[in-house]
Amino acid sequence: MSDPTQHSFSGSGGNLVFFEWPNENATFVALIAHGYAEHSRRYDHVAERLVSGGATVYAPDHIGHGLSEGERALVAEGEALSSDLHLVAEIARGAHPGLPVVLIGHSMGGIVATRYAQRHPGKLAALVLSGPVIGGNSQIMGLLELDPIPDVPIDPAVLSRDPETGAKYAADPLVYSGPFLRPTLEMFKQAVGDIAEGGGFGDMAVLWIHGSEDALAPLEETRAAVERLRGPRTEDKVYEEARHEIFNETNREEVLDDTMDFIRRSLAA
């Protein structure tokens, strides 16, 4: 599959880059919201599966991430990310009028995706949340009590049981490997509260997928948040022994198969 087309526009924090994986025979639009410290091109393999399943795919690099402008990994205003995503979604809808839209959000992107769904009800045909940090992480949030915040970057080993995933992450020049910034941690705390108060999923088709050994989005904290939001069409699946990046786990093909099956069923409903 060829590289995606790169686009940009003026977003909330300067020039925002997004990628398009085109499909001239598309039957739906898929949006991907990546996680903290990473970037959209780490989801090339997910986009390829989506395209093979009938999607045209769009994915922004959030402000402060990847090729987009902004201080690295600084996200002082979480709502800005979902606003930027909305602009990308409108571009996609304009290019593909009438096609249903599916949104996939991983980790911090799960926060972005959930807030998008809450702020724009009725806009999505389906929502997939992968290891979403919508319930927070009490251990990471505890860093806010320290001054200065210690330099404790994400350990690549917690991402996947596949050592190649961690090695590629550590070697990726577009991945941020520095310490958490206080405004970003405060944004996470605020966003978890906004989600809790932002209304449930209603009758939207939602799939929550998670690794049982996720150290960055602890399973039980996330489960509590999902249960508060759950609607009649909310589904979930926990992959035993999997870590945080389930789309990069040793059972990634199973995860992708389950995701595509959910999307097909949701669009056929």
Give yes or no for residue 2 having a pLDDT over 90. Answer: no
Whole-number average pLDDT of the chain: 97
Q: Are 108 and 73 in contact (CB under 8 A)?
A: no
Q: Which domains are seen in the chain, by residue range?
A: 5-268 (3.40.50.1820)
pLDDT in tens, 46-71: 999 999 999 999 999 999 999 999 99
In Å, what is the CA distance from 265 to each residue of 29, 96, 130?
15, 21, 18
Give yes or no for residue 1 having a pLDDT over 80. Answer: no
Q: Is 114 left (phi over 0), alpha (psi -120 to 50) or beta?
A: alpha
Amino acid code (one letter) for 179: P
pLDDT mean over 112-121: 98
* 116 Cβ contact list (under 8 Å, min separation 6): 33, 82, 85, 86, 89, 103, 105, 123, 124
| Distance of alpha carbon 199 from alpha carbon 78, whole angstroms | 17
pLDDT in tens, 184-227: 999 999 999 999 999 999 999 999 999 999 999 999 999 999 99
| Distance of alpha carbon 113 from alpha carbon 146, whole angstroms | 29
Give the active site residues: 107, 214, 244
